Amino acid sequence: MKIVGIIIVVAALLSGVSAHYRFTSLIVNGQTTGAYQYVRQNTNYNSPVTDITSTDARCNVGGGTGGNTSTATVAAGSSLGFQMDQAVFHLGPVDIYVRQAPSTAASWDGSGASWFKVYELGATYSPFTFTSLGKSQFSFNIPSGIPSGEYLVRVEQIALHVPNAPQFYISCAQINLTGGGSASPAKVSIPGAVSATDPGLTVNIYYPVPTNYTVPGPAVFTG
C-alpha cells in the first residue's frame, strides 16, 4: 500500500514537471497549423514562469528569438487562435497580447512598450470558476484596423491554484499581418503591464470565494 502510494505521488510530481499543458499550434482561419511551426518552442518543459518581472514573461524560457520558427501570413480581421496539446487543468484566466515587431517577428525579443491586449477570458460566478478550465483552444479575431506588418502574438494562461504564487504558461506565435489599417491602441511593456500586487494575481480563489474577478492588464483592444 505504502509503496503504491509513493509511486502515485512520484508519478504526480514527475507529470507536474514534464507534462504541463502547452500552446503548441497557431490556428489560422480555423485551420490548425503544425506544432511549433509558427509558435516558438520553449525549453523549460513549460514548467511555469513564476517571476512576472522576468523577461521570460514575454515568450517563455527559450522563446526570446524565433530563428527556427516560421511566420504565418494572416489578413487583418481574420480569425486566429491557439491549439494546446492538452486542456487547461489549473484555474485561472487566459489572455492574448500582440506587438508589432520593429523588423521581423522572428528576430524580435519582445522588448519595448508596444504590446496591447486583443483577447481575455476571465471568470464566471455562482459557481465561481474560470472559463478556460478544460478548454484546449482559444480563438479571437485579430483587429482589422491595426497596421500591416510582422507581429508576435503572445498567449498566456495564469494559473491561480496556489494562492499568492501565480504561474504563467506562455507561448508566442509569429505572424505577418496584411491589409491592416492605421489604428494605434495604447501600448504596454512586458514585463511591466501587470504588477505582482494586481488583485487578479494575489486573489485567493478558494476563500473567500471571489464574487468579482478582473483579468490583469489593460483593456482588450478590438478596433
Q: Which residues bind ligand NAG (CB under 6 A)?
A: 36, 41, 43, 68, 71, 73, 176, 178, 199-200, 203, 210, 212-214
| Closest to ligand NAG by CB, 112 or 149 | 149
Spatial separation of the C-alpha atoms in residues 212 and 190, rounded to whole Å: 25
Residue type at 205 in one-letter notation? I
How far apart are CB 1 and ligand NAG at their closest, in Å?
Answer: 41
Partner residues linked to 98 by β-bridges:
116, 153
- Residue 86: partners with Cβ closer than 8 Å, 6 or more residues away: 19, 21, 22, 136
Q: Which three cell numbers stand for residue 50?
A: 513564476
Q: Which residue is nearest to ligand NAG (CB)?
A: 199
CA angle at 17 for the pair 42 and 108, rounded to the nearest 5°? 15
How far apart are CB 203 and ligand NAG at their closest, in Å?
Answer: 4
How far apart are CB 212 and ligand NAG at their closest, in Å?
Answer: 4
| Closest to ligand NAG by CB, 44 or 176 | 176
How far apart are CB 64 and ligand NAG at their closest, in Å?
Answer: 11
Helix H or strand E encompassing 31? strand 31-32
- Residue 125: partners with Cβ closer than 8 Å, 6 or more residues away: 210, 211, 212
CA angle at 46 for the pair 22 and 176, rounded to the nearest 5°? 55
How far apart are CB 62 and ligand NAG at their closest, in Å?
Answer: 6
79-84 and 123-124 as β-strands: parallel, antiparallel, unpaired?
Answer: unpaired
| Closest to ligand NAG by CB, 6 or 129 | 129
How far apart are CB 68 and ligand NAG at their closest, in Å?
Answer: 4
| Closest to ligand NAG by CB, 200 or 217 | 200
Q: Which of 166, 188, 171 is nearest to 56 (CA)?
A: 171
| Closest to ligand NAG by CB, 191 or 200 | 200
| Closest to ligand NAG by CB, 5 or 208 | 208
